[in-house]
Amino acid sequence: MESKKKVIFIFTLPPPIHGSAVVNQYIKDSLLINEAFDCDYINLSTSRNIREIGKYSPIKIWRIFGALCLLFLKLATKRYDLCYLAITCHGIGFLKDAPFVMLCKLFRNKIVIHQHNKGMSNDVDRWPYKWLLPIVYKNTRVILLSWRLYPDIEKVVSRENVFICPNGIPEISYEYKNRHNDIPHLFFLSNLIESKGVLVLLDALKILRDKGFSFLCFFIGGETKEINRVRFEKEVENRNLQGNAMFEGRAYGTEKDKYFVSADIFVFPTFYHNECFPLVLLEAMQQRLPIVTTREGAIPDIVKDGENGFLCEKNNPKSLADCIEKLLVDETSRLNFGERGFVKYSKEYTIQTFEKRIIEILQIN
């Protein structure tokens, strides 16, 4: 009987909850992947909640040191066929993660790097990245979420060393029911970060309200140092959107699903420079929601303009308002877009499809 390939997975796990950590948790919990390989896991996360992100503390240094020691112990006591790493490719995060790749190289292991972020192109000509990036990525294979993201790494990674694996999410466990809202419900899901389009959306809502449209827009996500509840409510008041725009705080699991179920339109006007492949868009498609979003990262792969949603201009309230208006006035388009999005999700973005792609890629390497 042929023995399983031994793979060590080195990546961040929740908490805090964000796209790449969620996908990594899917891999760790996957029965298919754990049956296909002899798996070990190391958590690279140095933050335990969203408030720790971007802050430096002794405990974070200790967590990095502890993870490096654990990796050294595993590499020294077990011969792996492959090291799978999901690392940050730019900035301080890259400097933090690079030693883990180099330690795997020290033990002469084959390496696959799963790239859930972008920003390498901004650093590739700067010290110390211009010499460290080629060292880290030399003789490695890289998994990208879309070919649209390849230009970000093309100066460091050759095209023949790249595999494409879009993300996937688990199927919902309850029966879908048609929506019957007399007043259309809009839904925004993200932490309150300006570059996710929070204020742009509020400006667009003001345009729509001033044109006489009726709607309710629910903002779901965590407060941040940029925008907390007090500031959000002040921004709503400044635009006279009381009763139209509501911040509901964080919601997970069935609580989050309630907003998806009751919504008519999902709005995600991100212009976040590291946006790659937002899982919230897959969730919206799974829930048969038409989507209004932007052309950031791999989003045009997910949302086809005029088919399952609209792509508006980034950081442009009028463009966003125009796209939302098209769906507010046409319930038939909302339903058709939602159905097409669900079909696209079912064909391309289920968790089973994602798991099979990962297994195929790791079997090749």
Say which residues have a Cβ less than 8 Å from residue 177's Cβ, sequence separation at least 6. 261
In the chain, the number of structural domains is 2
Q: What was the pLDDT predicted at 52? A: 57
Q: Is residue 179 one of the residues assigned to a domain?
A: no
Inter-residue contact 280 to 229 (CB < 8 Å): no
Cis peptide upstream of residue 290 (ω within 30 degrees of 0): no
Q: Is residue 262 one of the residues assigned to a domain?
A: yes
Q: Are residues 12 and 154 in the same domain?
A: yes
Residue 50 has pLDDT above 70, yes or no: no
Inter-residue contact 145 to 164 (CB < 8 Å): yes
Structure-block tokens of residue 242? 């009381």
Q: Please report which confidence band the pLDDT of residue 49 belongs to, taking 50, 70 and 90 as the band edges.
A: low
How many CB atoms are located within 10 Å of the residue 238 CB?
10
Q: Are residues 217 and 266 in the same domain?
A: yes
Q: Please report which confidence band the pLDDT of residue 31 belongs to, taking 50, 70 and 90 as the band edges.
A: very high
Inter-residue contact 270 to 296 (CB < 8 Å): yes
Mean pLDDT value across residues 155-165: 98
Q: Are residues 99 and 9 in the same domain?
A: yes
Q: What was the pLDDT predicted at 48? A: 64
Residue 1 has pLDDT above 70, yes or no: no
Q: What was the pLDDT predicted at 54? A: 61
Is residue 107 classed as helix, strand or coil in its secondary structure?
A: coil
Q: How many Å is the Cα radius of gyration of the chain?
A: 21
**What CATH code is carried by the domain that includes residue 49?**
3.40.50.2000
pTM above 0.95, yes or no: no
Q: Please report which confidence band the pLDDT of residue 101 belongs to, taking 50, 70 and 90 as the band edges.
A: very high
Q: Are residues 27 and 165 in the same domain?
A: yes
Q: Are residues 212 and 287 in the same domain?
A: yes
Smallest CA-to-CA distance from 323 within 349, 293, 297, 303 is with: 293
Q: Are residues 215 and 313 in the same domain?
A: yes
Residue 252 has pLDDT above 90, yes or no: no
Mean pLDDT value across residues 102-115: 96
Inter-residue contact 345 to 286 (CB < 8 Å): yes
- Residue, of 26 and 176, whose pLDDT is higher: 26
Amino acid sitting at position 258: K
Q: Is residue 176 one of the residues assigned to a domain?
A: no
Q: Is residue 251 one of the residues assigned to a domain?
A: yes
Cα separation, 206 vs 213, in Å, equals 10
Residue 222 has pLDDT above 60, yes or no: yes
Distance separating the N- and C-terminal Cα atoms of the chain: 20
- Residue, of 292 and 59, whose pLDDT is higher: 292
Q: Please report which confidence band the pLDDT of residue 16 belongs to, taking 50, 70 and 90 as the band edges.
A: confident
* Residues in a beta bridge with 312: 294
Inter-residue contact 307 to 324 (CB < 8 Å): no
Q: Are residues 119 and 230 in the same domain?
A: no
Q: Please report which confidence band the pLDDT of residue 314 belongs to, taking 50, 70 and 90 as the band edges.
A: very high
**What percent of the chain is modeled with pLDDT above 70?**
95
Mean pLDDT value across residues 244-269: 94
Q: Are residues 233 and 342 in the same domain?
A: yes
Q: Please report which confidence band the pLDDT of residue 72 belongs to, taking 50, 70 and 90 as the band edges.
A: very high
Q: Are residues 254 and 105 in the same domain?
A: no
Residue 105 has pLDDT above 90, yes or no: yes
Domain hosting residue 135, numbered range: 5-169+351-364
Q: Please report which confidence band the pLDDT of residue 178 belongs to, taking 50, 70 and 90 as the band edges.
A: confident
Q: What was the pLDDT predicted at 253? A: 85
Q: Are residues 327 and 222 in the same domain?
A: yes
Smallest CA-to-CA distance from 140 within 164, 155, 158 is with: 158
Q: Are residues 32 and 123 in the same domain?
A: yes
Is residue 194 classed as helix, strand or coil in its secondary structure?
A: helix
> Phi then psi for 223, rounded to 5 degrees?
-70, 150
Q: What was the pLDDT predicted at 172? A: 83
Q: Is residue 178 one of the residues assigned to a domain?
A: no
Cα separation, 312 vs 310, in Å, equals 6
Q: What was the pLDDT predicted at 91? A: 94
Structure-block tokens of residue 187? 């839904």
Q: Please report which confidence band the pLDDT of residue 21 belongs to, taking 50, 70 and 90 as the band edges.
A: very high
Q: Is residue 174 one of the residues assigned to a domain?
A: no
Q: Is residue 153 one of the residues assigned to a domain?
A: yes
Q: Are residues 38 and 93 in the same domain?
A: yes
Average pLDDT, the chain: 94
What are the tens digits of pLDDT across the range 185-200? 999 999 999 999 999 9
Q: Is residue 217 one of the residues assigned to a domain?
A: yes
Say which residues have a Cβ less than 8 Å from residue 169's Cβ, sequence separation at least 6. 26, 279, 282, 283, 286, 349, 350, 351, 354
